[in-house]
Amino acid sequence: MSVHTQVKRTTIPQLMAYKGQRKIVSLTAHNSAFARIMDAYMDFILVGDSTAMVAYNHPNTLSITVEQMAAHGAAVVSATRHAAVLVDMPFGSYQESPEQAFRNAARILAVSGADGVKLEGGEALAPTVRFLVERGIPVMPHVGLMPQYVNTMGGFRAQGMNDAAAERILADARAHESAGAFGLVLEGIAEPLGRRITESVAIPTIGIGASPACDGQVLVTEDVLGLSGERVPKFVKRFADVETVMRGAFQSYAEEVREGVFPGPEHCFGIKPKEPRE
């Protein structure tokens, strides 16, 4: 039996059981290379609609499609054995009706093999969450700063910074919990609010610019690796400067090709290595 077949993928019930027991670790991935490397260290991998920005260089997340998300999800699932995989539902794929949401969520899961979906929205989306959950689709809603709402929010601004706004987001979280969500992503909210929501709900909270008190954390991998350019959100810590390493490798490759150093005889077929002289 291979090592891969011995490893059991983390399940949604396991993620739920981690609340109050240990922190949940997550990063985003949209390709098999990143997913394969991070798999052993993550509890779940999120195929985020941030793929629109980091993979396609779009200015926001609004333009990515169901088909693209499903395809990226399939790439991540195929490269992993340990982490659960969740896929973002793209803008416009679930807001119209619960029935629309079910068709698209079912399509994403069928094509990708992922374990669940994530969608953005407040209390108004709770009936949709319930509709999906009752039909066998695990859902993790995303509240607070919601990138798909960038136009109505007036940009990427922290949310819940006054009492009224905080109460609305808390109501959103509680509504999704009541609807059967297995967890919540809390993004870009005041730290005390992130702490309060985490203490108020029985399902795991995953913070991204929320609070250390959240049951887990998620970040965009390109931000963590220093691959997202000069702009770094306040809530991001760069754990490596991979861009510098890559630039050095690309420069060395270009120089060796131009100088005729690469490829050498050892990289060619049909050439016998020279015998060492005595």
Q: What is the mean pLDDT of each run of 10 residues along the chain (278 residues)?
A: 62 98 98 98 97 93 96 98 98 97 98 98 97 98 90 78 97 98 97 98 98 98 91 90 97 98 94 71
Separation of alpha carbons 131 and 103, rounded Å: 11
Structural domains of the chain in order of their starting residue, each with its CATH number: 3-241 (3.20.20.60)
**Which pLDDT score, from 0 to 100, does residue 2 have?**
42
Report helix angle 163-179 to 126-134, nearest 10. 20
Classify residue 99 as exposed, middle or buried by CB count within 10 Å of its CB (0-12, 13-18, 19+): exposed
187 in catalytic set: yes
Identify the H or E element spanning 84: strand 84-88
Closest CA to 183 of 9, 8, 3, 11: 11
pLDDT at 277: 67
Sign of CA pseudo-dihedral 221, 223, 225, 229:
positive
The rounded distance, in Å, linking the Cα atoms of 269 and 125 is: 60
Distance of CA 52 to the CA centre of its chain: 12
pLDDT the model gives residue 4: 44
Which of the residues 96, 167, 177, 187 is marked catalytic?
A: 187
Beta bridge partners of 218: 26
Which phi and psi angles does 124 have, rounded to 5°?
Answer: -60, -25
pLDDT at 3: 43
Token readout for 175 is 């509504």
**pLDDT at 148 (0 to 100):** 82
Task: State yes or no: 241 annotated in a binding site.
Answer: no
Determine whether the annotation assigns residue 96 to a binding site: no
Query: Is 118 marked within a binding site?
Result: yes
Q: Per-residue DSSP letters for 185-248?
A: EEESB-HHHHHHHHHH-SS-EEEESS-TTSSEEEE-HHHHTT-S-S---TT------HHHHHHH
pLDDT of residue 6: 54
Work out the angle between the directed axes of helices 66-78 and 98-112 (0-180°, nearest 10). 30
The whole-number pLDDT of residue 133 equals 98
Please tell me the pTM assigned to this model.
0.92
